[in-house]
Each structure stands twice: as structure tokens, then as C-alpha cells.
Structure 1
């Protein structure tokens, strides 16, 4: 997407759209046709997932009524689902409290994920997002005031943007940079100092940058409307470790003319939700 200048670690040129004929469309898994996921979802499964999420987020066991209310599930349906999940070991039942909590079976299911690299875990999500939104999605590793591209998924379209893996940019620049700055909560003087070293194709004032950082703090995602690269819009969110420090960024990158503000914000909201799910895992 950019030509890297090793003497500065700054983007050296605007991204170029690569025209290619594509065949063999892939879906979210990388191999399944995207239409496979277009059917009607199974209500009972969705209800079970909601109940498990509610129990996982709760500081203590919950009764059926409380769990059903928070999961927006009919209490009778919730009771039947929770009983089934108890039998499967995914939920534990305390007969004294008549309340439910996550069971050890969930730990067994997640064991295979705990030792895997985040890149492997997020790769299917990148492909799903690129397929659904028909634009480039990039995964960045954040360290030492730099963002390094470690993976990306390309849009399945005849003309598409691309970016070279290992591309390096300052961690406070672009859409990723705005949300990184929001998460780091640097003193204004320090943020101003770092901002003065950033190079934008369409420069913005520090006051505008600071305002957009505050917006990113509020909504959980950052936007870049052609500042980093003229004609290129992007939305981004970050994955934080168990100490709330950002260590990965995910960005949606698209041509300005194909990304009206509402579409870009919708992608930002989806990225923010994904990153919240992936954040805060102990040991990360």
C-alpha cells in the first residue's frame, strides 16, 4: 500500500489500487462460500450464546429470571436452555442459591485457543470483515511507538487496495493512532510533542487531532478521513492486554468515494465490538 522509507519509518507514498481479476470467492472461514452464512440463524443457539455471555460477564451466579432478563430471552426458554447447558457441563448450577454460573466445560472448550497466537485467532475475522464489507482490513502489532502490519485480508473485488506486510508507521498516526492515543491517555504536552513528528499527506491541526482522539475515546474506534493518505478513508480499533494497554490494532481501509461516513462508522463500531471481545485476556 505504501513504499517504506527505512530511514524514517514514515509512509513514503500514497497507496495504489491494484487491479486484479479475482476468482474463487472465499467466505469468512477462508474456504467456505460467503453465501453459506446467509441463512436464518437458529434461535435456540442465539439464546444459548446470549445466556452464556451474560453469565460470563456477571460478577456472581444469576437466577433464571435475572439471566433471562439480561439476555433478553423468555424465562421459560432460558430455564430449559440453562438446564441443557448444565447437563453439557458448560454451566454450573448452585442448588442452594438456585443460581447459574459458567461451568468447567467452557474452560475445556477454550483450552485449544489459549495457547494460540492472536494472529491465528483473528485471521478468520479479518477475512470475514473483508468479505462482508468489500474492503481491505489490516492487523497491526503495536510496540515501541510503532505499528507494524502483521496480517491483512483483501477485498474480493476486481479493483482493491493492498498493503505490504511488515509496513511500519508511527503508532499515533492514522485511524489506529487516534484510538491508540485515546487508550494511552498521554498528558497533552507529551501527545503534542509526538504529534509534531507525525507526517500526514493532508495535515490537520493538533487541536483537530486532539478532538478526534477524544471522539475515539468515547466511541471506541478512530477515523481517518484522508489525512494520512489523500483519498483514503479508514476506521480502526485496538485490542488491549489484561492491563488495558493496546497491543494490536485492526483497521478498515477503503477509497474515499466508496466509504460514506455512515458506512465507515458502522465498520468502526463492528471493529470496536470485535476488539472488546478480544481484549483483556490474562497473560496477553
Structure 2
């Protein structure tokens, strides 16, 4: 894992863009309808989304015309339309790793750091199922790499979510090999902090000279299903920079979790 490789530099800068308000509002309305328990009228949708009734009406009418929302003329209410299946059909058959890959690429380019997606397995391990490498010298982690689930920054996130009794946590940690192991009390405190803020850091503990930041993707039961981690050479990344990466990883992990494991929200018959 500590092998380093150099790749040609590339221009990673992109021009700043400004969101289109009408598009943002349309997406907000679609997300609201996706979680609504029953079809809703314009006034209710406007209140829930904070969009003005006139704008909500125009957006909903357009979504209906494009079959992304359906309108019940009798009850004057809207719900998601069949046209959404046309957009979603390209996702069918694609793995979670394929769907998350663009987010890994974005994070890697924005922070010039290797970003890996770890799948949490049923036998208390994590396995790399996708990765994105930066255009600079970096730590290399191969696809298929498999480690005990409590290693490094990922392990702190998982431990926090597992809420293991102290004796069980101590037993599992005894199986993890560290170059510079933290004390049990420090790991336990780090796991609690990871649970509170949504991300964790390992700086020079699992491997000397390597820093890791991670955030877990959780399902609807708040159990870890994936972990997104950024792994870099410690000398290349300042502490405050790694903390910023942690915040961005957490934002991405929450977005991915909402997309892959939506919370409840089925419609009533």
C-alpha cells in the first residue's frame, strides 16, 4: 500500500459556474415528491420547499409536460411521473462502485489526493472496490485490497457507528497491525468523535508517513455499507487541509447514502 507512483501532471482547474435557479428548484421539487407520503398540491409543495407558489406551479406544469411529474386533475395534486424511469433506466445493472466513481474522481482532482471506495463486508473487513488517483505522486492502493474493518481512519468511522462494547472493541483492535498504534483510549475517543462529526483522520498511525481521512456511507439503519477515504503522503497535506477534506468526504458520503439507501418515504395506498 505504501508504494508511490508518479503520473503526468494535468490541469485540474475548472472555471467557476453559477447554478441555474429554476433547475435547482425543479430538482428540489422532485426530491420532495420522492419522499412525500402521498400526492400533494401546489400550495403544499411550495410551503415544503420554500419556493414561491407561482414558481412552483410553473415548474410543476413543466415537469408534468415532460412526464417527470404526473397531475391528478380531480384532486389537483402532483406525484412523480413515469418519465423518470426513462432517465433512471441507464443505471439498471450498474454497480454501486460505478455510480459512485464520478464522486471519487471529483474529490481526487479537487484535493490532489488518492480517494478510495471501501465496501464493508459481512466478515468484518473492508475491500477497495473503486479508486481515483490524483495527477501527482501519491500513495497507491490497489483494487481488491482487503483489510480488517477497524484499520485507520475508516476503522474509527466504523467503530463509532458499530457502538461496540469496550471489551469487544479491544478484542477486534488486537487483530489490527499498526506501524505506530494509537492507545486503546485514543482510538475509542477518535471513534466517538468520528460518530459526532461524520469523519475521522489517521495521521501516521497505520503507516508512518501516510495520512488518511474517511467518512462512512450508511444505510437506512445507520450501519456502514461503504467508506470513502482519502489517502495521501503526510508531507504533502497540512492538518487543516486534511480537515477540509474530511468535511467534503462527509458531505459526499451523506449524498451517496441518501441516493443509495433512501429513508422510508413510500407512498400510502
Cα distance, 1:77 vs structure 2: 1.4
CA contact (8 A) 2:8 2:135 kept: no
Distance 1:248 1:161, change over 3 A: same
Structure-2 residue corresponding to 1:185? 163
SS of equivalent residue, structure 2 residue 9: coil
SS of equivalent residue, structure 1 residue 193: helix
Distance 1:172 1:275, change over 3 A: farther
Distance 1:167 1:74, change over 3 A: same
Corresponding residue to 1:113 among 91, 96, 115: 91
Cα distance, 1:242 vs structure 2: 5.8
Query: How far, CA to CA, are the matches of 2:221 and 2:88 in structure 1?
Result: 21
Q: Answer 1 or 2: higher relative contact order, Cα 8 Å, separation at least 6.
A: 2
- Which ranges in structure 2 are unaligned for 5 or more consecutive residues? 264-269
Cα distance, 1:178 vs structure 2: 1.6
Query: Please, what TM-score do these two structures have when normalized by structure 2?
Result: 0.83
Cα distance, 1:95 vs structure 2: 4.2
- Which ranges in structure 1 are unaligned for 5 or more consecutive residues? 3-14, 28-33
Corresponding residue to 1:78 among 51, 56, 62: 56
SS of equivalent residue, structure 2 residue 159: helix
Is 2:114 aligned against 1:132? no
Report the aligned-residue RMSD. Answer: 2.6
Query: How far, CA to CA, are the matches of 1:102 and 1:170 in structure 2?
Result: 42
CA contact (8 A) 2:216 2:250 kept: no
Cα distance, 1:190 vs structure 2: 1.6
Distance 1:268 1:46, change over 3 A: same
Query: How far, CA to CA, are the matches of 1:177 and 1:197 in structure 2?
Result: 12
Query: How far, CA to CA, are the matches of 1:97 and 1:236 in structure 2?
Result: 47
Structure-2 residue corresponding to 1:19? 6
Distance 1:277 1:66, change over 3 A: same
Structure-1 residue corresponding to 2:134? 155
Moved over 6 A (4+): none
Cα distance, 1:67 vs structure 2: 2.6
Structure-1 residue corresponding to 2:202? 224
Give the 5 Å matches for 1:228-239: 228-239=206-217
Q: How many residues align?
A: 259
CA contact (8 A) 1:244 1:280 kept: no
Is 2:20 aligned against 1:42? yes
CA contact (8 A) 2:119 2:126 kept: yes
Q: Show CA shifts across 1:39-80 (max 9, x none).
A: 322221111111111222333333334433443433321221
Query: How far, CA to CA, are the matches of 1:97 and 1:220 in structure 2?
Result: 42
Is 2:242 aligned against 1:264? no
Structure-1 residue corresponding to 2:267? none
Distance 1:111 1:204, change over 3 A: same
Query: Please, what TM-score do these two structures have when normalized by structure 1?
Result: 0.79
Structure-1 residue corresponding to 2:255? 274
Query: How far, CA to CA, are the matches of 1:106 and 1:185 in structure 2?
Result: 39
Q: Show CA shifts across 1:179-198 (max 9, x none).
A: 22233333332222101222
CA contact (8 A) 1:243 1:280 kept: no
Structure-2 residue corresponding to 1:30? none
Q: Show CA shifts across 1:157-206 (max 9, x none).
A: 3x333222222211111121122223333333222210122222222122
